[in-house]
Amino acid sequence: MADRRHRVRIYVLSDDHLWDNIGTGQISISYVERLQGMALLVRSETDGSLLLESKINPQTLYKKQQGVLIIWYEAENHGMALSFQDIAGCREIWEGICQVQGKDPTVKDPLDKSERPVEKADTSTLIKLPVCELNTLEQIANLVTSVLASPILRERLARILEHDNYIKKLLQLFHTCEDQQNTQGLHHLHDIIKGILSLNKTTLLEILFSDECIMDVVGCLEYDPALAQPKKHREFLTQNAKFKEVVPITDSELRKKIHQTYRVQYIYDILLPAPSMFEENFLSSLTTFIFFNKVEIVSMLQEDEKFLFQVFAQLKDETTDNDKRLELMLFFKDFFAFSQTLEPHSKDMLFKTLTQLGILPALKMVMNMSDLQIKTAATDIFTYLMEYSPSMIRAFIMQEAEKREDEDLFINMIIEQIVGDTDPELGGAFHLVGLLRCLLDPDNMLITINTCERSEFLNFFYKHCMHNLIAPLLATTSGSKCGEGNILLNLILELLIFCVQHHTYYIKHYILSNDLLRRVLMLTESKHTFLLLCAIRFMRRMIGLKDELYNRYIIQGNLFEPVVKALLDNGTRYNMLNSAIIELFEYIRVENIKSLVVHVVENYNVLQSIEYVKTFKGLKIKYEQEKHRQNQIRENLHSMLYSKILCQGVSVLDMKEEVGFNEDMKDAVLPPLENDFPDDDTFMETEPAARRMRRGRKLRVM
């Protein structure tokens, strides 16, 4: 029962007798075990959570109003309302409710006085369009405008307009009004056509956007009553907007579809007002119409392998002039933009086809050209490919590395474009750095049974490419003092910070082996605060990893010195630089990174004079606590070692005494066996002698 889900908004009657919207979701009627009966269930369209669970009681009075509303009261002053997106959905749920209650859905409850008489009739005779003539245009415009507030009346008007060529008759009157310069009639026709578009009916759009009608529709929309003079949109579409075929299109249907899509998109973007936040479904059928047109265009081009092959052949041909090459690139840019409308499977097939035809080698060739427009279009296409599959780009780069020198690699060419961007604002460099970051992001790298893309690609990058990326940084910091910095260094440092965060092993080896942090910290002498902040952030990110190798590198190189100098030079000014440096030391204190705490306190006593924050006093306290703890450990260890050595010494003495006693006993002369009772004098004399001998040995050992 009502297995299909329909989109609804839920309203609850508040204590102020106002209807509050509590959410939008998909409604169904299902059996709920807990309620022991059938219930209305609405689940959120965003997260699937349950917005409404209302049991359908036989005694509850449900009311259907305006064709798209169902209202009922679950308790006194607790009203509920469902507002449906379409009439069909409301009708289906209404029939389900009536079936549960055992009622006939076509019979109106005699107690229900709320429905307006105009909504009772089930035929379209309540809407009667005037005869399509010049003197009735005002009546037609008023009628079309008036029905827009009622979903059921919009539906009925749309059904009438679908027949009897009524729209085509209106457009014939448009030519008559233009010929007679009937401005008032043209204004009425503008309102009529705009109203018909607002009916949001696909069947009407197919009539309006047909080859014979679409330019007349554009003409009607030129005569906006709010404008003093009409805009010349038809002139622009027919004279200024030229359709260029980079390769002749032999399919006439494809050509018509391209023309239609361009013009409909123009109507949507230029001639119609942007929908407000309260009109989420405004012109939804128009956007859907454009969407499916684009899908159809891409599918038709994809199926024509000969066409794509010819386009690629011209693009790769070195004799192709720049104007033609620009047209080819703009075609591909639009083609890739349209491809975003495809289903995942169709999109996969398209991109595999383009890869086999050689889209990446072609992009590499054109991105290296001097023409800015061609390079920009190529970069946009490269962005689409990157969004689709970074792994595909990485695979191409790795294959290329097996055959070419480092300077000829695609990725090094991208880095060269970043470093050599001539735009003062580095717009192209910003874009390319974002793409490079996507290439270097381990989160989108694949791991299979046979290969680990992360280790292979990052090993390759740090060996063959990183030196090109940091070359401007090394050049600026090559002397004893920092050279003139620029925005490019900021871009490079931001990318290095990303690498520190995500390439822990690879970037660490590179930093330690090239003493890179020292070169970065030379930027603290720059007059550009943004570079100084970026250098501090780079060091902060390294310390944030709490890697003892980094800590020892910083300590041995005394790399806090430029940071402390920058803080002291900044004085008491409370600014971003001050906050960044203090936060760095505060992190060391809070995380109690012992090696760095000791190094800072013992080597930078000048920081103790800074009292407007408790950070440096806190570092001193941490240092003293650690020193006290170490002293306690040493004392306890000394005591333990002393006790252990003493115990071992006593054990050794006892062992030696035992051995000596046994040896004395062997040397002693035993009395004769026959004399069972020796003289007392003899016994007394022998025993003390033996004891004295043992005592003498003890003294010698001591």
Is residue 694 very low, low, confident or very high in pLDDT (cuts 50, 70, 90)?
very low
CB atoms within 10 A of CB 199: 19
In this predicted model, what pLDDT tens digit does every residue of 460-516 receive, in sequence order? 999 999 999 999 999 998 876 666 668 899 999 999 999 999 998 999 999 999 999
Cβ-based neighbours of 188, under 8 Å, separated by 6 or more: 137, 138, 140, 141
Where residue 77 falls among pLDDT bands split at 50, 70, 90? low
Please give the structure tokens belonging to residue 297.
């265009």
Q: Identify the pLDDT of residue 396.
A: 93
**Is 604 strand, coil or helix?**
coil
Buried b / exposed e over 489-525, threshold 16 CB at 10 Å, is bbbbbebbbbbbebbeebbbebbeeeebbbbbbbbbb
Out of 18-22, 245-249, 273-277, the most confident range is: 245-249
Exposed e or buried b per residue across 570-596, where buried means at least 16 C-beta atoms within 10 angstroms of its C-beta: eeeeeeebbebbbebbbbbbeeebbeb
Instruction: Kindly indicate the confidence band of residue 430, based on its pLDDT and cuts at 50, 70 and 90.
Output: very high
78 — pLDDT class (breaks 50, 70, 90): confident
Query: What pLDDT, on the 0 to 100 scale, is given for residue 35?
Result: 84
CB 596 within 8 A of CB 551: yes
Least confident of 87-101, 179-193, 574-588: 87-101
Question: What does the alpha-carbon distance between residue 8 and residue 84 come to, in Å, rounded to a whole number?
Answer: 4
State how far the Cα of 178 lies from the Cα of 386, in Å rounded to an integer. Answer: 51
Q: Would strands 6-13 and 19-32 be described as parallel, antiparallel, or unpaired?
A: antiparallel
Phi/psi of residue 156, each to 5°? -70, -40
> Which residues, in sequence order, are bridge partners of residue 39?
30, 55
Percent of the residues in the chain that have a pLDDT greater than 90, as a whole number: 43
Structural contact between residues 411 and 417, judged by C-beta atoms closer than 8 angstroms: no
Q: How confident is the model at residue 180 (pLDDT cuts 50, 70, 90)?
A: very high
Q: What is the pLDDT of residue 679?
A: 45
Q: Taking residues 623-647, report their average pLDDT.
A: 77
Q: List all residues 6 or more positions away from 454 whose beta carbon is below 8 Å from its beta carbon.
A: 442, 445, 447
Burial status of residue 239 (CB atoms within 10 A of its CB: 0-12, 13-18, 19 or more): exposed
Q: Is 48 left (phi over 0), alpha (psi -120 to 50) or beta?
A: left
Q: Is 221 exposed, middle or buried (0-12, 13-18, 19+ CB in 10 A)?
A: buried
| Short-list 274, 294, 402, CA closest to 343 | 294
Pick the most confident of 100-104, 433-437, 678-682. Answer: 433-437
Among residues 264, 263, 250, 226, which one has the least CA distance to residue 303? Answer: 250
Q: Where are the domains of the chain?
A: 6-101, 136-241
- Which tens digit of pLDDT belongs to each residue from 271-330? 887 765 445 556 778 888 888 888 889 888 888 878 888 999 998 888 889 899 999 999
Does residue 638 or residue 240 have the better pLDDT? 240
Q: How many CB atoms lie within 10 A of CB 679?
A: 10
What proportion of the chain, given as a percentage, has pLDDT over 70?
83
CA distance 425 to 407: 26
Query: Hey, what are 383's tokens?
Result: 């962005």
The size of the chain, in residues, is 702
Residue 469: exposure state from Cβ atoms within 10 A (0-12, 13-18, ≥19)? buried
Question: What DSSP state is assigned to residue 452?
Answer: B
Tell how far CA 205 is from the center of its chain.
Answer: 35
* Phi, psi (deg, nearest 5) at residue 69: -120, 140
Average pLDDT of the chain to the nearest whole number: 83
Kindly tell me if the per-residue pLDDT of 345 is higher than 90. Answer: no
279 neighbors 287 (Cβ within 8 angstroms): no
Q: Is 26 helix (H, G, I), strand (E, B) or coil?
A: strand
User: Would you state the pLDDT for residue 659?
Assistant: 54
| 520 or 30, which is more confident | 520
Which whole number is the average pLDDT over 677-691? 44
Domain formed by 6-101, architecture: Roll (2.30)
3-state secondary structure at position 337:
helix
Q: From CA 59, how far away is CA 100, in angstroms rounded? A: 11
Residue burial 56-68, b: 16+ Cβ < 10 Å; e: rest? bbeeeebbbbbbb
- Specify burial of residue 104 (Cβ count, 10 A radius: 0-12, 13-18, 19+): exposed
In the block, tokens 């009735």 appear at 136
Note the pLDDT tens digit of each residue in 44-71: 877 778 888 888 888 888 888 767 788 8
pTM of the model: 0.67
Helix, strand, coil distribution of the chain in percent, nearest 5 = 65, 10, 25
Least confident of 382-386, 515-519, 651-655, 666-670: 666-670
pLDDT for 114 beyond 90: no
Q: What is the mean pLDDT of residues 586-609?
A: 94
Residues pairing with 19 in the sheet? 13
More confident residue, 485 or 119: 485
DSSP string, 523-549: GGGSS-HHHHHHHHHHHHHHHHTT-HH
Q: Which pLDDT score, from 0 to 100, does residue 595 have?
A: 94
Q: Coil, strand or helix: which one is 502? A: helix
Rg (CA), the chain: 43
Nearest to 291 by CA among 331, 251, 330, 342: 342
Exposure on the CB side of residue 638, measured as CA atoms within 13 A = 6
pLDDT of residue 687: 47
Per-residue CA distances from 11 to 66, 86, 149, 366 (Å): 16, 17, 19, 57
